[in-house]
């Protein structure tokens, strides 16, 4: 009883603070409070730590909540850099925050595990195959885009802005249904991986991801076992 009382008291104290550590040692700093009072960053982080294997969170030292110029400049609401995960305080609900955090956790893994993720070319080849099909679908709908955009696996802002503003992610999502997990997934190989990784933890059934992107799904499965990260 006393232990539970202490834990509940600590939770109340933490909620009054803008800086605290989670049970696994991740530093949470709320620079700017969420616009919606119902959002609780502790609940989101608890969910992440309970669902994502600890070894996949090892690169994240700190999560900072607030507003940063990058969000407006790049039309994003989260980014990862040098061990710090930056999350916008403008969020609809905790589900959106969970989505953003897991997505950036995926990017944090690319540095130390890039060879494991991309080294055998399976995810890349799957991505480029989908890009070729994407080009055909867009052409059939009246969108003529130079072929080199579809062969480049790196992020290209001009290409992304064309998809985002000229076509629109909503319309693009409809056209790419059954091909990409989201309209942002085709923007680069890294985003293809990160959106698939996010879907893996957003939908515990996994059947849609497995059917849609089998090579990516298999790669994410291997990441769940820390021993497999050192097989190559």
Per-residue pLDDT band for 9 (boundaries 50, 70, 90) equals very low
pLDDT at 5: 44
Q: What is the pTM of this model?
A: 0.88
pLDDT at 14: 46
pLDDT at 172: 96
pLDDT at 23: 85
Q: What is the DSSP letter of 185?
A: G
pLDDT at 232: 47
From CA 229, how far away is CA 121, in angstroms rounded?
A: 16
Burial of 44: CB neighbours in 10 Å, binned 0-12, 13-18, 19+: buried
pLDDT tens for residues 104-161?
Answer: 999 999 999 999 999 999 999 999 999 999 999 999 999 999 999 999 999 999 999 9
């Amino acid at each position: 009883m006393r232990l539970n009382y202490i834990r509940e008291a600590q939770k109340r104290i933490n909620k009054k603070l803008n800086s605290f550590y989670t049970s696994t040692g991740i530093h949470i700093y709320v620079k700017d409070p969420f616009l919606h009072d119902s959002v609780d960053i502790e609940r989101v982080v608890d969910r992440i730590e309970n669902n994502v294997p600890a070894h996949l969170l090892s690169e994240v030292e700190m999560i900072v909540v607030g507003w940063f110029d990058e969000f407006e400049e790049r039309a994003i609401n989260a980014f990862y850099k040098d061990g710090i995960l930056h999350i916008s305080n403008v969020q609809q609900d905790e589900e959106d925050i969970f989505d953003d955090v897991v997505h950036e956790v995926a990017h944090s893994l690319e540095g130390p595990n890039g060879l494991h993720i991309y080294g055998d070319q399976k995810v890349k080849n799957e991505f480029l195959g989908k890009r070729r099909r994407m080009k055909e679908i867009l052409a059939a709908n009246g969108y003529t885009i130079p072929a080199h955009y579809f062969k480049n696996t790196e992020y290209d802002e001009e290409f992304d802005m064309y998809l985002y503003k000229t076509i629109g992610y909503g319309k693009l999502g409809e056209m790419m249904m059954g091909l990409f997990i989201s309209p942002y997934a085709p923007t680069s190989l890294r985003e293809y991986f990160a959106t698939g990784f996010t879907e893996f933890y957003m939908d515990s059934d996994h059947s849609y991801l497995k059917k849609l992107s089998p090579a990516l799904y298999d790669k994410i499965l291997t990441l769940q076992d820390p021993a497999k990260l050192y097989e190559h």
